[in-house]
Structure 1
Amino acid sequence: MGMEIKMSFNESFQEFPIIETERLILRELQSEDAEDYFSYFSNKEVTMYWGYDCPKDVKTVASTFVRFSNAFKRKDMIVWGISEKGTDKIIGTCILGNFVRGSMANISYNLSREQWKRGFMLEAIGAIIPFGFNNLGLHRIQALVMPENNASISLLEKCNFKNEGLLRAYSFGTLFTDTLIYSLLVEELN
């Protein structure tokens, strides 16, 4: 885990950054992950607060992965597939994107329903946040969350994100809904 090495924003995009935690490997999604991704992401409970419809089929997922890869090459977004060590099966994703001048990014995430309440997302985000601040040189990481999404709010607060307020009728994927904005600044990283 020792992420003491300081890299620049651009250097971090030369090859996909693989992050290892105690129980997880965060890695680039591959075409062979499409079935696992589709399997958990087609569960309405998983996408309830996502703001987008779930993918139609495994083929759609494969083209989504190509879009993720191209976005990484353009330095627009990093989409980590979350896999449990020993299985290599994708159980969720975590995304850093919407970079603003290399100083700010949005974080979003999703996790297979079967894996909820096991601390996996806390572990994944706990590794991605220092990567964002140390390797990408970000100053601020923010998250948009629907007010009814108590699990996500609890997760963000455990990671020391601060509630900055309510964005009224904000565009959240394909919806317009009230949305909370949370943020964490580099000096608040502990």
Structure 2
Amino acid sequence: MKLFQHDHFPHVTGNRVSLRQILDTDLDDLMEISFYDAVQAQTVQQAAEMQAKINQDYLDGNSIHWGIVDHSTNTIVGTCGYYRGLDRGEGELGCVLLSKYYGQGYMTEGMSLAIEFGLNHMGLKRIWAATSQQNGPAIKLLERLNFVKIADTAEDEIEYELRPVINQYHSMK
């Protein structure tokens, strides 16, 4: 099942941030948060190889990975996207923020844009997220975005699911 158009990568614009495709020219700035399959890139070359895999995952309809861009500086401050479950009409939402932007509200707006896009443009029926039990900031972010805890996993993670406050995102159209 393909849930979005592949002829152009979706650009999503909000008040303070936008979500856009990550470009090769962004990779130097994203080394701190360049991951694929939980492995961090150690070089720009590795980051480019990982980004190529991420781009192919998008073309295959398996994920969508955005850079979160601050409008005032045109700088990528983090990334977010849907990484699993799209073949079932659902999506695992994940995010990473560059450390110098912690606590400034970027991720709340970026994730809100991703949620709205997932519900209203991709037609997702379920959105969930997982984080480490020790990741207090991620837990607070998910709760602020109306996710509720649904499970503790054996891998020391907590799973969250977006619950019926979904109507707030449908009204963002």
Give 4+ residue runs of structure 1 displaced > 4 Å after superposition: none
Does the CA contact (< 8 Å) of 1:12 and 1:135 recur in 2?
Answer: no
Aligned 1:105-120 pairs, distance under 5 A: 105-120=91-106
| C-alpha distance in structure 2 between counterparts of 1:12 and 1:183, whole Å | 25
> Which segments of 5 or more consecutive residues in structure 2 lack a partner in the other structure?
169-173
1:188 corresponds to 2:171 = no
What SS is found at the alignment partner of 1:76? coil
TM-score (norm 1): 0.81
Cα separation, partners in 2 of 1:34 and 1:139, compared to 1, 3 Å: same
- Compute the displacement of 1:188 (Å): 2.6
What SS is found at the alignment partner of 2:40? coil
Does the CA contact (< 8 Å) of 2:91 and 2:124 recur in 1?
Answer: yes
Query: Identical aligned pairs, as a percentage?
Result: 25
> Which segments of 5 or more consecutive residues in structure 1 lack a partner in the other structure?
1-7, 169-176
- Compute the displacement of 1:14 (Å): 3.2
Aligned 1:8-23 pairs, distance under 5 A: 10-23=3-16
Aligned to 1:157: 143
| C-alpha distance in structure 2 between counterparts of 1:91 and 1:136, whole Å | 24
- Compute the displacement of 1:102 (Å): 4.3
More displaced, 113-122 or 85-94? 85-94
Query: RMSD of aligned C-alpha atoms?
Result: 2.1
More displaced, 99-108 or 119-128? 99-108
1:29 paired residue among 22, 30, 36? 22
What SS is found at the alignment partner of 1:98? coil
User: Cα deviations across residues 127-176 of structure 1 (Å, max 9, x unaligned)?
Assistant: 110110111111110001111101000000000001002111xxxxxxxx
1:99 paired residue among 68, 85, 106? 85
- Compute the displacement of 1:82 (Å): 1.1
| Count of aligned residue pairs for this structure pair | 167
